[in-house]
A and B are shown apart, each in its own frame.
Chain A
Amino acid sequence: MRSLRSRRRSRFGIAAAAVLLSVLALAACGGGGSSGGSGGSSTSSGPAQSGGTAYFAEGTQAAPNYIFPFASLQYFSVTNMNQFQELMFRPLYWFGKGATPDLNLSLSLANNPKYSSGNTQVSFTLKPYKWSNGEKVTAQDVVFWMNMMKVEKLNWAGYAAGTLPDDLSSVTTSGNTVTFKMTGKNNPYWFTYNELSQITPLPMAWDISANGQKAGSQACGTASFQDVTVKTTKTSKGSTVTPVSAAAKSCAAVYTYLTGEAKKLSSYATNPLWQVVDGPWHLSGFTTDGKATMVPNPKYSGPVKPKLSKFVELPFTADSAEFNALAAGKVDIGVLPPSDITSNATTSGTCTIKPGANNPRLSNYNLVAGNAWQINYFPLNFNSTGNNGQAGKIFSQLYFRQAFQTLVDQPAYIEHIDKGYGVPTYGPVPVCPPNNFAASELKLGNPYAYSPSKAKALLKNNGWTVKPGGTSVCADASKCGVPAGTPLSFTLQYVGGSPFEDQLMHAEKSSWAAAGINVNLTTSTFDTVLTNAVPCSGGSSCSWEAENWGGGWIFAPDFYPSGEDLFQTGAGSNSGSYSDPQMDNLIKSTTVGTAKLDQYGVYGAKQLPVIWQPTAVAATEINKKLQGVTPLNPLGNLNPETWYFTK
């Protein structure tokens, strides 16, 4: 079943990675952070003052448009979740502590989860939080979410067969403690970071199915998990879930009602439903263009109370429009478009990026760079029928992938194309931001450092006649792994429109050409590239060879960088259909077993299931008078309650 854990991070991870890289780095960390973020300082210029309005620039064309936390795939984005919903509706567990992606218990609704019975059971106790309507946040609010998940799992963006709620045999409560019994053993890290991370307690005020109903009038919020029964029917196209018990039917009715209300964007700020919050903020204004105005929740019972009197998120049509807003001093936090970066950043160690001098028009801002919890890569299609049926076979040769990766000069691209605002990706576990998951071996450097001579030697030693600047040809089929005469040529499609991506792709093409690897570059839209880059198994629809959507993968809301979604055989987001028994075993040992990610990380770095690419890092501008913003949260979470202005 675990091999089917496929879809969960896909939409969020891929889309968010490519579109919202810049937005991510804007996020501010919550309290309790300790480790320093990379980047510039945020010098205090005077005594703190309470009040004031902070303006936050949303990502270009990435305005929030969905308020209900139980979101389906199309609304599952950093913009909607991390930078909108979670300011009002707190998730059970908060991730991002300082500049690290770690579990942040001080901002979580529950205490540390306790695993028992050989890691087949987990219990957690809720802290004494309150909803803004005065009700307590209770264990039953967690069950409300789980009940909803049971009935509407196909509409929950985070769902994949075999994962929550399928991997639970029971959910029980005792006082303010919730206990999950699992159907099998799980790695506690994996379960906390990838499963519990998905839960958001729901208020009983939402347990209604029509306007004017009394809060809790439906049974979805009050029923036990066991009383919610559904019938799952498997068809050739997948599964369907039909509610059976009365409680399950009420969950379906509540879901229909709440999603209907969530489609009324113009009423977000006035609908009483969405005013019942347990987070530090509630909406006071919302436009259908995506301008969101939030004010402090006066009954917020969490640890860090807002100091600002208002927090406003502003939509922008383009990077240039956002830059103009920064230059005009109309926003307090925004991303500096790469084209407006006037001085290169320098890197200290692997992850610490020290911004260069700021753009002269932005003298009232501090320039800060923060890592995102992500990896960047593009897949090769191991089943590709391209190149007369030989492309997939070429990609399956480790020596080819090694030669190909060896020609990717990540440090040079970061320096010359990303203007220093980038970090290299060497494997499936991010080395940056600094974390406890990456193997120390990878922290030391790139297993495939740039070397054209090594690349050429790899190809020559494996039967290829190398033609630098031309197209190498297989001369010895027994060594190449493909018929003699096969040209080393294929097509790489990437998302067009970004001059930086264009530069990167052409630089890499030029580098690959040095070893006679002829890569034809084509461009298309983001959606088209994503639609093409799906796992396939032969036939005319499997002719794609390499697709680059430009952003790799952001680990959220499954924060444990294990590879079951990406590189396990048959995984839905295993775009290139990579399959390797040892990789499967290593992944399994980190999800079911208790192995650390070291071996998996090193193996993935060396086996090259994808081609690793440099990860661009956003340059974030922060008003010098706005404090409490840094270090930036690598997961994209916003905590404006920690922000304050100085005089």
Chain B
Amino acid sequence: MTGYLIRRIAQSIVVVFGVILLTFLLFHLYPQDSAARACLGPKASKVGIENFNHQQGYDLPIYHQFWNYTWGIVRHFDLGSSCKYNQSVRSLILNRLPKTLVLVGLSTVFALIVAVPLGILQVIRRNKPIDYVLTGVSFVGYAMPAFLLGELLILWFALDLHWFEFEAPQSASMLQILGDPRGWILPVFSLSVLTIAGFSRYMRSSMMEALTEDYIRTARAKGAGPSRVLFLHALRNALIPIITLLGLTLPAIVGGAIITETVFNYPGMGLLTTDSALNNDVPVLLGTTFVAAVATVAGNLIADILYAVADPRVRYG
């Protein structure tokens, strides 16, 4: 297991490095002065652009720029600075990431808590009215546009009933955000609805598949009761696809949920990424891509490790 872990971590570092290299090269396919023009405006003088490029190191050979960039990340987690925001990319990410972690993290946990039992319930009552109703509700939830749901929730529960705030907590501190449930309940719920719909469908089909396996028949033949079969034998195996799904959710937890962030006035990582793309804010775009790449790799790594925990048949040499 230790050897496997070391190998996987080494592979992950190579993948992250590859992503940085690729995105770095992709962004350099932009016209040479586009970053300067995006920052200074289209009428910036040639000298102004030259100064800007020099200050940012854009006038260096590309391999030199790449070295400076990666070395900056390794040494100080220095991801450059944003012209649009007048801040370092690191401070921007450190400001936005906690918000997104709370929003997407809580919604994922909430979704799991609801979706797993829901999926099991549908299997127990499969092809019964409750199964059909829950399937229908899942489809509606899955199809519901996030902005529409968000706006409707605000309209009903914040503006009309005054039960909750119309916007998410505005603090940058994770603790302060968590301490304001009137602020975070609506955005978390809004985001959870989509996830619950997806997770519960996965859980249902995964559980159904597990119940048709030979070891389930064997367990029943040996006299195991329905609950024991369901929760001890089937559930553990049925959770493996969910673990994969969770691993793939990590990038989303870090990457943010742009629509929910926009509707609930909650500037997180998703909004930061899309804004930087729209504004040709290359350092921010590179920084958020880097963070998303690390999260993706880490998510896969964690999922792989959890496989071993969940499935005793999985053994790593």
Contact = CB atoms under 8 A, between A and B. Distances in A.
A232 B265 CA distance: 48
B50 A328 contact: no
Interface string B135-174: 0000000000001000100100011000001110010100
A534 interface: yes
A320 B265 CA distance: 9
Interface stretch (B39-47, B177-185, B198-206, B240-248): B39-47
Nearest to A547: B42
Nearest to A530: B42
Interface stretch (A33-41, A284-292, A466-474, A617-625): A284-292
Given A324-B158, A328-B159, A238 B263 contact: no
Contacts of A321: 167, 262-265
Contacts of B154: 324
A527 B38 contact: yes
B167 A324 contact: yes
Contact of B265 (A237, A318, A526): A318
Contact of A527 (B45, B265, B267, B278): B278
A29 interface: no
Given A525-B278, A527-B278, A238 B46 contact: yes
A75 interface: yes
Contacts of B289: none
Interface string A244-266: 00000000000000000011011
B48 A73 contact: yes
Contact of B87 (A10, A265, A315): A265
B46 A237 contact: yes
B121 interface: no
A232 B30 CA distance: 32
Contacts of A7: 43-45
B95 A288 contact: yes
Which among B37, B38, B43, B95 has the highest number of chain A CB atoms within 10 Å?
B43
B271 interface: yes
A265 to B, nearest CB: 6
Given A238-B45, A328-B158, A317 B34 contact: no
A240 B47 contact: yes
A315 B265 CA distance: 8
Contacts of A295: none
Contact of B166 (A74, A324, A533): A324
A11 interface: yes
A74 B85 CA distance: 10
Given A531-B38, A531-B42, A288 B91 contact: yes
Contacts of B42: 10, 14, 530-531, 533-534
A147 B116 CA distance: 69
A325 interface: yes
A238 B49 CA distance: 10
Contact of B47 (A238, A265, A266, A288): A238
A72 B280 CA distance: 18
Interface in A520-542: 525-528, 530-531, 533-534
Interface string B227-266: 0000000000000000000000000000000000111111
A289 B170 contact: yes
A153 to B, nearest CB: 11
Nearest to B95: A288
B218 interface: no
A458 interface: no
A321 B279 CA distance: 21
B43 A573 contact: yes
Contacts of A15: 41
Contacts of B267: 289, 315, 317
Contacts of A61: 275
Given A288-B95, A325-B166, A325-B167, A65 B86 contact: yes
Interface in B278-310: 278-280
Contacts of B43: 6-7, 10-11, 534, 572-573
Contacts of A10: 41-43
Interface string A126-155: 000000000000000000000000000010
A156 B163 CA distance: 49
B220 interface: no
B95 A289 contact: yes
B64 interface: no
Contacts of A291: 170
Given A239-B47, A289-B267, A525-B278, A265 B86 contact: yes
B217 interface: no
Interface in A281-312: 287-289, 291
B126 interface: no
A327 B91 contact: no
Contacts of A526: 278
B114 interface: no
B262 A317 contact: yes
A597 to B, nearest CB: 23
A330 B166 contact: yes
A328 B47 contact: no
A388 interface: no
A74 B84 contact: yes
Given A14-B41, A328-B159, A527-B278, A237 B166 contact: no
Counting chain A CB atoms within 10 Å of each CB, which of B151, B159, B261 scores highest?
B159
A377 interface: no
Contacts of B147: 320
B184 to A, nearest CB: 15
A361 interface: yes
A643 interface: no
A66 interface: yes
A235 interface: yes
B51 interface: yes
B237 to A, nearest CB: 43
Interface in A306-355: 315-318, 320-321, 324-325, 327-328, 330
Nearest to B258: A317
B263 A531 contact: no
B83 interface: yes
18 contacts: A7-B43, A10-B43, A11-B44, A65-B86, A73-B39, A74-B40, A74-B41, A288-B91, A288-B92, A291-B170, A320-B147, A324-B265, A325-B166, A325-B167, A525-B278, A527-B278, A530-B42, A573-B43
Given A324-B265, A534-B43, 11 more contacts: A11-B40, A14-B41, A75-B86, A262-B86, A263-B87, A287-B170, A320-B147, A321-B265, A325-B166, A325-B167, A533-B42
A-B pairs, 6 with minimum CB distance: A238-B47, A11-B41, A10-B43, A321-B265, A237-B46, A324-B166
